[in-house]
Chains A and B, each alone.
Chain A
Amino acid sequence: MDRNQLIKWIEAPAKMAHKYSLHAVYFCTGCGIIEIPPAITARWDAERFGVLPAATPRHANLFLITGYVSLKTLRAIIRTYEQMPEPKYSVGFGSCPINGGMYWDSYNTIKHLDRYIPIDGWIAGCMPRPEAIFVAVTHLWTLIEKDMADGYKRYRVHYSEYRANQERILGALEWPPLFPKE
C-alpha cells in the first residue's frame, strides 16, 4: 500500500485518489450482500483502506455485484452502473456473475454478467469471505495503478454491443442509450 508515498501523490494525484477512496454503491444483489456488513464494520474495517458504502450511485466509484443476477436485478444493475460518474470500477463478487455459479441451469438468472456491463475483476467463491474483498481491493489498486481498470472506457467504446445484449435479454429499456451523447 503506497498511500503514504508523497511522490506518487504529486505525480498522479487522480489515480492515487481513486485507489484510496473507493466508495461502493450499497447495492444489495443477492446472497453476497451478507458478506459486506462484516467487511465495513468493526471486525474487518474496510474504512482503513478508504472503502465506504455510498448511498446513491452518484456518490460512488465502485460497484460490487455480490451475488446471482436475476433479470429484474439486471435492469437495476444496468441503470445503477450507468448513473455512476466516471471513472468507475465494477467487481463481480461470487461465482454467479462469473459463470452462473450455483444457478448455472436456471431460467431466470444471468450466466455471464460481463456481456451486459463491463467488469474489471472477479472474486471467486460462494460466498467469498470478507478477507477476499480486501484481496480484491488490493488487486484493483494494482490494476488502477497500471491503467488496466478501464471497464468504463470499454463500455463507452463498445456501447452498441452492450446495449444490444441488454435489449435482447430484457426487451425494451425505459431509458435512452447512454452513448453517443456528446
Chain B
Amino acid sequence: MQVLRLILSPLAALVIGILFLGLSRKFMARIQWRYGPPLYQPLIDILRLFTQRSVSHGVVFDLGIILTLAASFVIVLFLPFGGLCPMSGSGGLLVVLYMMLLAPLGMALTAGESANPNSSIGISRWFILALGYEVPLLLVLLAVMTRYDTISLVEIVAAQRSHTSSIATFPLVLSGVAYLLIMPAVMGLRPFEVVQAPQEISSGPMAELGGRYLAMATVQHALSMFIGISLFVNLLWGGASNPLVFLLKMLVMFALVLWVNAAFPRLRIDQAIRFLWRWPTFVAFVGLLLVVVIGD
C-alpha cells in the first residue's frame, strides 16, 4: 500500500503538471482570441524532445538536471494531494522548504557547465528572484507553522479540515494575501518570468539544453508549478479530503495566476525584487507579527 502511494503521488503530480502546462497554453491562446494547441501538446513536445539527439557539456551537465528533477520529485512525495501523502511523518514542511532550494541549485550546476554566459546570467537571475520571493514566502510559511504549532503538512491540513481554511482566519488572511501576491514569482510566470526571458537572454539557464535535457527541464517546470499551487492549497485553502476536490481547487488558483500572466509584461529583475521585498513582505511580516502576538 505504501509502495503504491509512493508511486501514485509523483505520477499524479506529473500528469497534473503537464496538464497545467497544456492548460496554460490553451488558456493564454483563448485570451488572445486564437484557438491554441490541444491540451496534450506539452506531451507531444516532450516526446519530440526525447527523440532528439542533442549535446552535453560534461558529467555535471547531466547530473545537474537529474538532481533538479529528483528534488522536485522529493518535494512531491512530501506534499499531501487530497488524502494522499506518502511521506507523512518525516519532517514535512521543513523538508519541502529545503528541497525547494535544491531545484535551482541543480539547474545552476547544469547551466554553469553549459559554458554559456546566457545561462550564467539566467541562473544569477533565478537565484536573485528566488531570494526575492523567499523572503515573503518564508514569512508566510513561518506564520502558518507558528499558528498551528507544527512542521507537518498533514497536521496543518487536518487542523484546517476540522476548523476552517487558514485564509479565512485572521491573522492568516494577511499571509494568504501575501502568498497570492508572490504566487506568479514562485511559479515563474509573468510578471516574474525574468529567468527564462527568451527574447532577452535566449531562455537563460536552458540556452544550451536540447533533446532530453530540455524535456526534463520542461517536466521540472511542470512539477514546480504543481508544487507552488499545491503548497498554497494545502497551507492556506484547507487541502482536501479527496484528490478530485484538491484538483478543482488547484485549477481555480491556476486560472487566477494565468489571468495575471496574460495581463502583465515582464518586469526587470531589480523591479521584481523591489516589488517582492516591498508590499508582499510587509503584509507577510505584519501577518507573522500578529500571529506571534495574538498567540493561539
Contact = CB atoms under 8 A, between A and B. Distances in A.
Q: Is A in direct contact with B (CB under 8 Å) within the complex? A: yes
Interface of A: 3, 13-14, 16-18, 20-21, 23, 41-43, 45, 47-50, 55-56, 58-59, 61, 85-87
B53 A85 contact: yes
Interface in B42-70: 44-45, 47-48, 51-55
Nearest to B29: A47
Interface of B: 25, 29, 32-38, 41, 44-45, 47-48, 51-55, 198-199, 202-203, 206-211, 214
A13 B47 contact: yes
Contacts of B211: 85
A18 B51 contact: yes
Given A21-B45, A87-B52, A55 B35 contact: no
B203 A55 contact: yes
B36 A55 contact: no
Contacts of B198: 55
Contacts of A43: 34
Given A21-B45, A50-B41, A50-B44, A86 B52 contact: yes
A55 B48 contact: no
B52 A47 contact: no
B208 to A, nearest CB: 6
B52 to A, nearest CB: 4
17 contacts: A14-B51, A17-B51, A18-B51, A20-B41, A21-B44, A23-B45, A43-B34, A47-B36, A50-B37, A50-B41, A50-B45, A55-B199, A55-B202, A59-B203, A59-B214, A61-B52, A85-B54
A86 B34 CA distance: 31
B55 A58 contact: yes
A85 B52 contact: yes
Contacts of B203: 55-56, 59
Contact of A56 (B32, B35, B48, B207): B207
A21 B55 CA distance: 20
A58 B35 contact: no
Contact of B37 (A13, A14, A48): A48
A58 B207 contact: yes
Contacts of A13: 47, 51
Contacts of B32: 41-42
A74 B209 CA distance: 24
B226 to A, nearest CB: 22
A87 B55 CA distance: 13
A45 B207 contact: no
B34 A56 contact: no
A121 B25 CA distance: 29
A58 B37 CA distance: 22
A58 B52 CA distance: 10
A14 B44 CA distance: 9
Nearest to B199: A55
A59 B44 contact: no
Contacts of A17: 44-45, 47-48, 51
A14 B207 CA distance: 24
Contacts of A14: 47-48, 51
Contacts of B214: 58-59
Interface centre among B52, B54, B206 (most CB of A within 10 A): B52
Contacts of B208: 56, 58
B55 A85 contact: yes
Nearest to B52: A85
A86 B44 contact: no
B29 A45 contact: yes
Contacts of B47: 13-14, 17, 21
